[in-house]
């Protein structure tokens, strides 16, 4: 597939990009800071410095035209509520609108395990803007006509990939998962049409990734 990965310099994305390239995808990685161009190019993806917070739906539609899909792995990083809403909610939704208009039908959202409109995070909690923004973006995506998959990893850790996870459908509750395994789950989800139309929450666990996604 010809894919756009948004958030291309993020810690998950820098693990994901070479996996996608190795799997035979054509990958353009979008990131905000031009200083990160060499880092992204080293993954084998085509780097594109573009601030999605400041990019309108029309420009995103032009960017996506002729491509097959989007992986959203971007985030404002917390600490700034207005920017969290601007990136994690508003820019994400614009990318979904652009994907629909351009015909880039496949859309994989990297969300988090507890993302839900009933997330239960109190407004005074610093995490509240992120929880609200992700809930809104996920709800927009899951109500769209795109070929969507929402991935909800638990708390992210560093470390070598295990190649194994446990999904909420298998009984998982929020725990932890390596960033390397999250990257591998994205690749596996793109390869498996059965993941379309599903929200998949997961931790590290005992089951090989491809098998867990089928379950």
The predicted pLDDT at position 131 comes to 94
Residue 50 to residue 40: CA distance in whole angstroms? 13
The predicted pLDDT at position 116 comes to 86
DSSP string covering 151-197: EEE-EEE-S---SEEEEGGGT--S-EEEHHHHHHHHHHHHH-GGGTT
The predicted pLDDT at position 156 comes to 96
The predicted pLDDT at position 59 comes to 98
Across-strand partners of 176?
A: 155
**Parallel/antiparallel/unpaired status of strands 46-49 and 26-31:** parallel
What is the mean pLDDT, run by run of 10 residues, along the chain of 215 residues?
Answer: 98 98 98 98 98 97 98 90 96 98 98 88 91 96 98 96 96 94 98 97 97 91
The predicted pLDDT at position 213 comes to 96
The predicted pLDDT at position 24 comes to 98
Burial bucket for residue 126 (CB in 10 Å: 0-12, 13-18, 19+): exposed
Residue where the block lists tokens 């097959």: 68
Please, what's the largest Cα pairwise distance for the chain? 45
The fold adopted by the segment(s) 2-214 is Rossmann fold (3.40.50)
DSSP string covering 73-101: -----SS-HHHHIIIIIIIHHHHHHHHHH
What does the mean pLDDT of the chain come to? Answer: 96
| Sequence spans of domains, the chain | 2-214
């Amino acid at each position: 597939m010809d894919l756009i990965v948004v958030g291309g310099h993020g810690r998950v994305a820098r693990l994901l990009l070479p996996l996608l390239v190795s799997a035979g995808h054509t990958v353009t990685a979008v990131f905000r800071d031009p200083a990160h161009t060499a880092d992204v190019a080293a993954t084998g993806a085509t780097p594109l410095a573009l601030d999605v917070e400041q990019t309108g739906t029309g420009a995103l539609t032009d960017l996506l035209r002729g491509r097959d899909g989007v992986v959203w792995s971007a985030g404002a990083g917390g600490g700034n509520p207005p920017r969290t809403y601007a990136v994690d909610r508003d820019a994400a939704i614009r990318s979904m609108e652009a994907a629909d208009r351009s015909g880039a039908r496949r859309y994989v959202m990297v969300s988090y395990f507890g993302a839900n409109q009933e997330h239960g995070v109190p407004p005074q909690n610093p995490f509240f803007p992120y929880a609200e923004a992700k809930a809104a973006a996920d709800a927009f995506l899951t109500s769209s006509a795109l070929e969507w998959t929402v991935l909800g990893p638990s708390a992210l850790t560093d470390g070598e990939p295990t190649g194994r996870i446990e999904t909420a459908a298998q009984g998982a509750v929020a725990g932890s998962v390596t960033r390397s395994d999250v990257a591998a789950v994205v690749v596996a989800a793109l390869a498996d049409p059965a993941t379309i139309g599903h929200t998949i929450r997961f931790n590290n666990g005992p089951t090989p990734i491809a098998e867990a996604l089928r379950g």
